[in-house]
Structure 1
Amino acid sequence: MRVTLLGAGDTTGTPTVGCDCDTCEAARERGVERTRFSVHVENERVDESLLIDFSPDFRYQFLREDVALPDAAVITHIHFDHLDGLGNVFRVFDSLDVYAADETDPVTGKSVAQTVSDDYHYLDPIDVRPTTPLETIHVCGLDVTLVPVEHPPLVCYGLAIEDPVTGAKLSISGDTSYNVPEASREVLADPDLLLADAIVPAHLCEYHPAGGRHETDDGVPRTFGTKHMTREGALDLAAELNAERTRLVHLAHYYPADEAFEEPLAVDGERYEL
């Protein structure tokens, strides 16, 4: 299983358009970037690949990384930075299965699958496949399981992706607070690689209107506001999941420049063989 981080950034990416903060300037100087979140998973055994989330930067990411167009895709939730690149299938794909959760979101009154079907009804190539969370499906020769996470106010999902032949396992936390349900943690546990949402370091919680949540015994916030994990929360989750390797993703340009490119914070283009 070959994993390529197409986009390791949050909703604005790094560098952020029109921003001259120290972190964005450092990214430009280093020649690195974090575009909006997306992950490419290639199964070399069957010569097929799976895309996790359709970044608005889809076209640029695929041209830059020179990876194969996906044979199928999964959408974790309906925020624009994970979904709005789906329009790129127009005149690029002949057909594409798109998997998304089938449970109704009490806020929208629709499932993620239904929202995708409704919003992109004009795209003939896509075939939306409603998928039940915590039930494993077989896609591109891989076992794929959507797991509920906490990303209020909308439903959102993480993923476990496992090769049933080699046993290689990738877990993706999804956009989530530290309060990942226990049933989801059990599915995500023991990955060879964990990609964990870690939008900012914990010390920046003092600047969020909602502060921090899910503090450690020492008072360190594991959740920034209500929607995303802090760096410290993501690393605690990685330890609890017994991840062999962890890369932090969905990163904001609010990381101070002297912390923004430290390990294990990811940048676009990283590749891992599992």
Structure 2
Amino acid sequence: MEVTLLGTGDTTGTPTPGCDCDTCTAARERGVERTRFSVHVRNEATGESLLVDASPDFRQQFLREGVALPDEILVTHIHFDHLDGVGNAYRLLSDVPVHAANETDPETGESVAETVARKYDYLDAVSVVGHAPHTRFEACGFEVRLVPVVHPPLVCYGVVIEAEGAKLAITGDTNFAVPAESREAMRGADLLLADGIVPASLCEYHPLGGDHHDDEGVPRTFGTKHMTTEGAVALADELDAEDYRVVHVSHFPSPDEAFGDPLAVDGERYEL
């Protein structure tokens, strides 16, 4: 499988509109971007393409990277920066299945699949397919699983994609308290894409501070919703990932932190 990181940023992206912080300025000077999160996974055996999360930056991402339009889409949760790109199916796509979890979210009273179906009921091209968490299903010739993670207050899911001995794992938006069964499903990935929004040092600026501290007191969760960089790295180590990249990165890290390993930027490609 060929994996292209279309969007590696958080909800505002980097550079952030209207922001002249050192990191946004450096991003402009270096000509690098972190648009809203999205991953393109091409099955080289079938020629099909699966899109994991449909970013609002869909048009820009596909034009910039020159990858094929998706044959199928998977949505991890209903936050706009992961969902609203589905609207690009209008006039661009035909008969595109959109995969999502079918368990009811207590917060919204409907599942991710039901929310997607309701929001995009005007698009004839979109057909929503619901799946139970941890149940294997086929998409674009891949074996796929949605695995629950923790991203309060909404339900959210990581993704495991496998084909011909290759394994891609994506944590989705999550704090460090990923359930044990989901951790096991993601274990041993050839590539792990792990949510890590800021370095742990910035937890002091969050109203809720940090959580899930390691033995040295370093927070692996920023507030309640996302892992820190240190949390993402710790998870990758715990799960024995062959390779990993930190994604869903904000513009708050300093330029030295923001553009060095292991933080990903848009356009990176991996062959698994």
Given residue 113 of structure 1, which amino acid in structure 2 is its aligned partner? A
| TM-score normalised by length of structure 1 | 0.99
Which structure 1 residue ranges, 5 or more long, are not aligned? Answer: none
**1:228 lines up with 2:233 in the alignment:** no
Residue 41 of structure 1: SS of its match in structure 2? strand
Shift of 1:26: 0.5
Residue 255 of structure 2: SS of its match in structure 1? coil
| TM-score normalised by length of structure 2 | 0.99
Q: Distance in 1 between matches of 2:110 and 2:248?
A: 25
Report what 2:214 is aligned to: 216
Q: Distance in 2 between matches of 1:130 and 1:94?
A: 19
Q: Distance in 2 between matches of 1:23 and 1:117?
A: 38
Q: Distance in 1 between matches of 2:257 and 2:234?
A: 18
State the number of aligned residues: 272
Q: Distance in 2 between matches of 1:14 and 1:149?
A: 25
Report what 1:45 is aligned to: 45
Report what 2:146 is aligned to: 146
Shift of 1:119: 0.8
Shift of 1:203: 0.4
Report what 2:72 is aligned to: 72
Given residue 132 of structure 1, which amino acid in structure 2 is its aligned partner? A
Q: Distance in 1 between matches of 2:135 and 2:237?
A: 25
Report what 2:124 is aligned to: 124
Report what 2:101 is aligned to: 101
Given residue 141 of structure 1, which amino acid in structure 2 is its aligned partner? G
**1:57 lines up with 2:57 in the alignment:** yes
Shift of 1:258: 1.6
Report what 1:167 is aligned to: 165
Shift of 1:181: 0.0
Report what 1:199 is aligned to: 197
What is the CA deviation profile of residues 39-97 of structure 1, one whole-angstrom value per residue up to 9, with x for unaligned ones?
00000101101000010000010000000011101000000000011111101111100
Q: Distance in 2 between matches of 1:265 and 1:107?
A: 32
Residue 222 of structure 1: SS of its match in structure 2? strand
What is the CA deviation profile of residues 162-208 of structure 1, one whole-angstrom value per residue up to 9, with x for unaligned ones?
00xx2000000100000000000010100000000000000000000
Structure 1 moving runs of 4+ over 6 Å? none
Shift of 1:139: 1.1
Residue 253 of structure 2: SS of its match in structure 1? coil
